[in-house]
Amino acid sequence: MSEAGTSAFGEMTVAQYLAANSVEMAPVDRDGAEQLGIAASTPAGWQAAPTDQFPGTTEVLVEPGMIENGFAPNAVLLVGRLSARVDPEAMLNCSFTDARLLPGWSELEVSFDDLGPWPSRFVRGTFVADQLNLAVTTRYAVVGADEQYLVQLTVTVATDQMDKLAFDVAAINDGLFVGGR
């Protein structure tokens, strides 16, 4: 297979990058992700939501004891098999654009640190949605040698819950395991 998109795309989102390079992403379910060595950590009190409620996701975790104004703190793991090889650095650089397009976005941290042996990007910030002030962390990684997979882990909590949930958010982010395959 040829490698898609090896040049910088500036302000593209990840979805725009994939579309511009004719790369499709096939969702991988939880069992498939675990076979690849990709798993999210579940802190005490958090529960896996039924996957049929969130089509296309690998796993959704919620903290049902902290629901506020109809919003439950949540972590969403997406794993997708890419239909063609991509330049991981070019595509991952687009991940910052995804966050920066959120309404009222205020960026607090970015990181280019790898996730194990795989290239990765991490962004943390706050935004406003449906009159809720939310804090979010998102880690993107491109994993796999023969086949490539895009991994995205997004943890979202109400900003006024950050102090109470800081340990859980860190545990979910630090507990993302991506094996070497």
Indicate if the pLDDT at residue 7 is higher than 70.
Answer: no
Phi, psi of 149 (to 5 degrees): -130, 140
pLDDT at site 10:
58
- Beta carbons within 10 angstroms of residue 23's beta carbon: 19
152 φ/ψ angles, rounded to the nearest 5 degrees = -135, 125
CA dist 112 → 70, 100, 115 (Å) = 34, 16, 9
User: What's the rounded mean pLDDT across residues 126-144?
Assistant: 94
User: Residue range 145-174: average pLDDT?
Assistant: 94
pLDDT value of position 1: 33
For 60-93, how does the pLDDT look when each residue is reduced to its tens digit (9 = 90+)?
999 999 998 889 999 999 999 999 999 999 999 9
User: By three-state DSSP, how is residue 167 classified?
Assistant: helix
Residue 146 confidence class, pLDDT cut points 50, 70, 90? confident
pTM: 0.90
The arithmetic mean of pLDDT across residues 25-49, rounded, is: 93
pLDDT of residue 5: 37
Burial class (CB in 10 A: 0-12, 13-18, 19+), 77: buried
- Half-sphere exposure in the Cβ direction for 60 (13 Å, CA): 15
pLDDT of 180: 54
Share the mean pLDDT of the chain: 90
From CA 165, how far away is CA 157, in angstroms rounded? Answer: 8
Nearest to 33 by CA among 144, 156, 108: 144
The secondary structure of 22-80 as a DSSP string is T--EEE--HHHHHHTTEE----TT-EEPPGGGSTT-SEEEE-GGG-BTTB--EEEEEEE
Give the pLDDT confidence score for residue 3 in this predicted structure. Answer: 39
More confident residue, 153 or 10: 153
Is the CA virtual torsion 178, 66, 56, 91 positive or negative? negative
